[in-house]
Structure 1
Amino acid sequence: MEGTARMAERPSPQTAPPFQEVFTTYYPQVVRQIMRITRDQTVAEDLAQDVFLKLYDQDLQGIHNLGGWLTQAGIYAAYNHLRSERRRTARDEGQELFDRWLEPSTEERWLKQEEIAAVREALTSLNDRDRTLLLMKYSGYNYQELAEATAVESGSVGTLLARARRKFRDLYQRKRGAER
């Protein structure tokens, strides 16, 4: 898209026809040359377009062997692409190894499940109002919404929430202490 815009910016009667002629003459040859290296038609076509965009930015009169210049530019573009792909693949594989390394062990997953069970047990031991207050507060609701949901005065929500937290903490600590 960018290349099309650049070509549209600079149309001049002196350069447009020769460039179009060069493009139609050499494009298939450049694509074939890149295809031999990349073994991917779509990539070869994309890289060939990049090569011709570079050519468009050059002074055609300054290039003595146009076919050689295009072939060499295509080869460089293909090898640069392969190097980039190799680096990207290595980076992705490294990230995958790192992710596996960070993945929790069986013991860590078991401890997490135990923790979740303890939290659930403590929450279910609370009365409905305290459980609702805690769950709604940690789900992002504000005090006014908590007051409406539990049918209490909005000025009382802070005190009730503090008491619910204290009850939850005590129940949770008892549950965790009983396991150890």
Structure 2
Amino acid sequence: MKLYHGTNMVFDHIDLKKSKPGKDFGPGFYLSDNMRQAKDLAQARVVLAGGVPTVLTYEFDERLLTRGELKVLSFKDYTREWAEFIIANRNNHTCKPAHDYDIVIGPIANDKVGLQLWKFSNHDIDMGTLIERLKYMKGITMQYYFGTQRAINHLMRL
């Protein structure tokens, strides 16, 4: 399968030490199976940090998701478990993930995640409302988190 990473620069080596905490699935390397989504993320990155919109393409053998070599968690839709997982990771401000998965696959949360999590933690909204508000406004788009070097080693840059 082809996966895409939207960024603001070209690089040859994926360095997990550059990952930032507080992301949906924790500090790691994020990709999409949707080229349009990767382009949008590249544009957003340029607005925040400058540079040139860049989409890096990788090949990944999706059979590895079910062979047992890698520890994989997959969310097919916006669910309570998905929302709780995102809450745990967004509230983790360390560089160590809040879980031990090599790869996590699941829907992208919308761009207003921080505000919605704050409302939920202040009991202004319930879990059902949180899940609805976290849905990505452009429809369900999956993100692929590669959080360990063991997982990264299976990505081949095209």
More helix by percentage: 1
The structure with more strand, counted as a fraction of residues? 2
TM-score bin (small chain): under 0.3
Q: What is the TM-score normalised by the length of structure 2?
A: 0.20
* Higher-Rg member (1/2): 1
Q: Which has the higher contact order (CA 8 A, sep 6+)?
A: 2
Question: Normalised by the size of structure 1, how large is the TM-score?
Answer: 0.18
